[in-house]
Amino acid sequence: MREAVVFVHGIWMTGLEMTLLRRRVRRCGYDCYQFHYHSVLASPARNAARLYEFLRAIDADVIHIVAHSLGGIVVMHMFSKFPAQKPGRVLLLGSPLKGSYLARMLNRTFLTRPFLGRATEQGLLGDGPRWKGGRELAMIAGTHGFGMGTVLTFGTLPKPNDGTVTISETDGTGVGVHLQVPYSHFGMLAAEPVAHAVCQFLSKGDFAE
C-alpha cells in the first residue's frame, strides 16, 4: 500500500521552509509532496479548492496531510467542502483554528491590513469552518514564545505562545491529540524531535512511543 504525505505551508511562505521536515518524513518511508498556494492573494476557501485538485492527482492509496499555520485553515476548508477524500491522517503545526491575535491586531489599521490580504476571509480572524474531516486530527503547538508575533504585538501576545500563535488558538474543535513542543512557530519546522513526532502520528495515530 502506497502512502503519501502532502505538506501545506503557512502565510507569506512558499513551502521551501518545510524542506528539512519533508526530507525527514520521507526517510520514514512516505512519498512527500509540497502544495504551494497564494496565501495572501487568494482566500483560504479558494486555496482549499486548489488543494483538492492537487490531492486528486496523487497516485497513492493513503494520503496524509501535514499543514503549518494558515495551511491548517486551508485544510479545514478543504474537508468542509470536499469531505470525500482518500484515507489518511491530518496533522497541523501551529495552526490558529480559533483565530489569530496577531492577525486581529494587523487587521485593525489600513497600514497593516494589506499584509494579510484575503487570508482573513473565513480564516485568520477565527470565522473558519469547523472540522468535518471524519478522520484523525492532531495538533503540534510550540511554546517557545519568541518571534515576529511578540515583536509586532509589542509583547502583548497572550502566553503561552510560539512567538506567533498562542496555545489556546490551536485548541480547535475536532483536535483529538494535542502535543506541545519547546520550539517557536517556525523553529518547529527545523526541529528533529518534531519530525519524529510527525512520523509517529502518521504511523500510529498518536505521539506516544
In tens, the pLDDT along 123-166 reads: 999 999 999 878 999 999 999 988 877 778 888 899 999 999 99
With vertex at residue 131, the alpha carbon angle to CA 29 and CA 3, rounded to the nearest 5 degrees, is: 15
pLDDT of residue 145: 84
Which three three-digit cell numbers place residue 77?
476548508
d(CA 200, CA 192): 12
In tens, the pLDDT along 77-107 reads 999 999 999 999 999 999 999 999 999 998 9
CB 195 within 8 A of CB 121: no
d(CA 155, CA 138): 28
Better pLDDT: 172 or 176: 176
pLDDT of residue 133: 79
Cα Rg, the chain, nearest whole Å: 16
pLDDT of residue 209: 62
Residue 103's closest CA among 75, 123, 128, 78?
123
| Percentage of the chain exceeding pLDDT 70 | 100
d(CA 128, CA 81): 12
CB 5 within 8 A of CB 54: no
Mean pLDDT across 167-171: 96
Domains and CATH numbers, the chain: 3-204 (3.40.50.1820)
Residue type, 139: M
Which three three-digit cell numbers place residue 10?
503557512
* Cβ neighbours around 39 below 10 Å, total: 25
Which three three-digit cell numbers place residue 21?
521536515
With vertex at residue 97, the alpha carbon angle to CA 122 and CA 6, rounded to the nearest 5 degrees, is: 95
d(CA 128, CA 107): 16
Mean pLDDT of the chain: 94
Sequence-distant (≥ 6) Cβ neighbours of residue 1 within 8 angstroms? 61, 62
pLDDT of residue 52: 98
